[in-house]
Amino acid sequence: MTGSPDNQKETRTLLGRRIVLGITGSIAAYKSAFLARELTRRGAEVRVVMTPSATEFITPLTLATLVDKPVHSDFTESVEKGTWTNHVELGLWGDLFLVAPCTAATMSAMVTGACDNLLQAVFLSARCPVMIAPAMDLDMFTNPATQQSLKTLSDRGILIIEPASGPLASGLEGKGRLEEPEIIAERVEDFFSENLPLSGKKVVITAGPTREPVDAVRYIGNRSTGKMGFAIAGRLADLGAHVTLIAGPVNLPTPDRVAERINIETAEELYEETIKVWPKMDAGIACAAVADLRPMKASDKKMHKDEFPDAVELEKTPDTLKAMGDSKAPGQTLMGFALETDNGIESAKGKLERKNLDFVVLNTLQDPGAGFNHDTNKVTVIKRVGLDTEMLSFELKTKKEVARDLVEMLFQIK
């Protein structure tokens, strides 16, 4: 890639997007290689599923090299070992299932619900939106059967990228050419900017530790790395939310598409910045590990050993989460985190009540791989349901996966 760093950022418009690219047996399948490259060049993570027929037009090896992932075309991976490709997992993994080129045969299978190959199985199990780019000869395209398939799929919410007009592989001229890869990639970009489940939602999320100064160089803090909060901020932004990330001192880059990052250092700053924006928000997620105590007096210069007081007097810091809960307006949803060193269900439930939360996410340091300094987390979510509560325990997962689960729960998206 060429150009200044700014230009590079501009072209990586699909960063963080997961696209399952389906390829079917059209002569235009060779263009899928260019499409795969366009999508990855723009930052998307791409996994390729091919129909057996497509593998006769372009080799899986070409695609696997371009997307840097194995290509799937069979239900079974190894008959001897009994391993198989999990089409349901692929269907759940993607943010978009894009079939380009899409043959008349595959369109017809999508209409009837046939499940004769892996691509069709992924289609049937995909929870994400599906986009198809039909490609075929002129007369195949205008045939009433094909037109009926297109109409039925469109009526069912499948997004259609109409074929272009021009010279066709058959020698004929007319409508049926697979749209150019750059144009398909642009349509994918438009899709992500317009049709996201959280478009129009505003969310504030706090993340990372706070530091409470003892003197100019020393502070009271904690071991939070901010990874969990940043993963949630990234997921929210991926789904189209307008995210304000209020971050303590952490060593993490701002996730792509996060609208605003406000860096804070102390619990007081966290309080002020959060309370300022909270009334404008649809939801708040308090993931920051706030230092609950601070020295009453902090020296503004470095204290020398002989200047140390016998004891440092502490006071409570402002309680941001409680203030958010107390001022929560109808329609606002609030999720708080509780980190406990033992089984803290009761204390998490207490937090839900005291702070007027809708969800509390409990992680205990007792669980291996959970809490600070890990890329994984194991959480139990307690949710307010009327006057009662509901509890859901998740297994140990990566923080990115936990972020997905939590965002799904918060906004009830599937």
Residues at the contact surface with ligand FMN, assessed by CB under 6 A:
24-28, 51, 53-54, 103-106, 117, 135-136, 140
Question: What DSSP line would sit under 360-409, residue for residue?
Answer: EEEEETTSTT-STT-SEE--EEEEEETTEEEEEE--SEEHHHHHHHHHHH
Give how far the C-alpha of residue 189 lies from the chain's centroid of Cα atoms, to the nearest Å: 15
Name the minimum Å distance from CB 48 to ligand FMN.
Answer: 13
| Active-site hit among 143, 222, 263, 356 | 222
218, 350, 352, 384 from 346: Cα distances, Å = 34, 6, 10, 14
161 vs 232, which CB is nearer to ligand FMN?
161
Q: Are 202 and 233 in contact (CB under 8 A)?
A: no
106 vs 224, which CB is nearer to ligand FMN?
106
Question: For this structure, is 377 an active site residue?
Answer: no
Name the minimum Å distance from CB 140 to ligand FMN.
Answer: 6
**If phi over 0 gives left and psi between -120 and 50 gives alpha, with beta otherwise, what is residue 367?**
beta
152 vs 332, which CB is nearer to ligand FMN?
152
Helices 60-67 and 31-41: angle between axes, nearest 10 degrees: 10
Name the minimum Å distance from CB 120 to ligand FMN.
Answer: 8
Task: List, in sequence order, every residue forming a beta bridge with 132; answer none if it has no partner.
Answer: 99, 160
53 vs 206, which CB is nearer to ligand FMN?
53
Name the minimum Å distance from CB 193 to ligand FMN.
Answer: 30
CA distance 262 to 250: 12
Name the minimum Å distance from CB 321 to ligand FMN.
Answer: 53
CA distance 40 to 14: 8
145 vs 217, which CB is nearer to ligand FMN?
145
Is the C-alpha dihedral spanning 15, 19, 23, 27 positive or negative?
negative
Give the residue numbers annotated as catalytic, written as ranges.
222
